[in-house]
Amino acid sequence: MGRKERREREQKRENYASQRSSEKRKHTLIAVGVFAVIAVIVGYAAWTFVNLDQSAVPGGPENAGALGSEHSHAGILVKVFGDSFDFSAPAYQIKSSWIHFEGNDGSTIHKHATGVTLGFLFESLGLGLDDQCFTFKDGRSFCTDEEYSLKFFINEEPVDDIRDYEISEDDTILISYGAETADEIEAQLLELKAQGLQKLG
């Protein structure tokens, strides 16, 4: 074997070793880059979780405090042409962590944070409510017109709208739609009061 061939073989070996070394370096750099990106993502996720504002949890009301910042209960009665609306049905139980009905009870509202309004409760239940209309999930609307009216009472006092109202412990809320006389409204308010007494008893 001549000197020339030996030199060529050595040259090939050196080139091969150099190529392998270059590939290893490239793969190492790619791996380091991937791990660095993963570390940044994990770090950001951890930082976000630690600094999480509970009021910004998806599904929560815009101006709500942290979950658990309040726990209040209020009694409610909704009457449409004298018939009671049934919030104890599964379709209306615990639809939001902030404010809801629970335990198959459709007459007690549970509020679990400050800044949560009755408007948000109805929105979370998929029910439309404004100062003129009460709208069911199936699209039926009960709106104030010349014959019938939508009326609201908080703690037996008539109010124009309840959407922005935040309940306090032991509040009572009556929503009534129809052409009730003053005596019929009084009877509904007494029914609402009896509902609360029944719970205490």
pLDDT single digits (tens) 81-90: 999 999 999 9
78 and 175 housed in the same domain: yes
101 and 194 housed in the same domain: yes
Q: Is residue 65 part of a domain?
A: no
76 and 158 housed in the same domain: yes
109 and 184 housed in the same domain: yes
Is the pLDDT reported for residue 137 higher than 80? yes
185 and 86 housed in the same domain: yes
Instruction: Say how many residues make up the chain.
Output: 201
Q: How confident is the model at residue 14 (pLDDT cuts 50, 70, 90)?
A: low
94 and 175 housed in the same domain: yes
What global pTM score does this model have?
Answer: 0.71
Mean pLDDT score across all residues of the chain? 86
Q: Is residue 92 part of a domain?
A: yes
Q: Kindly state the helix (H) or strand (E) to which residue 119 belongs, with its residue range.
A: helix 118-124
Name which of 122, 76, 78, 75 is nearest 99 in CA terms: 122
Residue for token digits 């042409």?
81
Give the total number of structural domains in the chain. Answer: 2
76 and 144 housed in the same domain: yes
Is the pLDDT reported for residue 55 higher than 50? no
171 and 102 housed in the same domain: yes
Which domain, by its residues, includes 126? 72-200
Across the range 17-27, mean pLDDT stands at 71
What percentage of the chain exceeds 90 in pLDDT?
A: 65
SS percent in the chain: helix, strand, coil, step 5: 40, 20, 40
Instruction: Output the pLDDT for position 25.
Output: 76
Is the pLDDT reported for residue 49 higher than 70? no
Q: Is residue 19 part of a domain?
A: yes
Is the pLDDT reported for residue 5 higher than 90? no
More confident of the two residues 49 and 125:
125
Instruction: Output the pLDDT for position 54.
Output: 47
Q: What is d(CA 79, CA 131) in angstroms, rounded to the nearest whole number?
A: 15
Q: How confident is the model at residue 57 (pLDDT cuts 50, 70, 90)?
A: low
- Report CA-CA distances (Å) from 82 to 50, 117, 163: 50, 25, 22
Q: Is residue 179 part of a domain?
A: yes
Is the pLDDT reported for residue 128 higher than 80? yes
3-class DSSP assignment, residue 184: helix
Is the pLDDT reported for residue 131 higher than 90? yes
Is the pLDDT reported for residue 161 higher than 70? yes
82 and 173 housed in the same domain: yes
Instruction: Output the pLDDT for position 101.
Output: 97
30 and 103 housed in the same domain: no
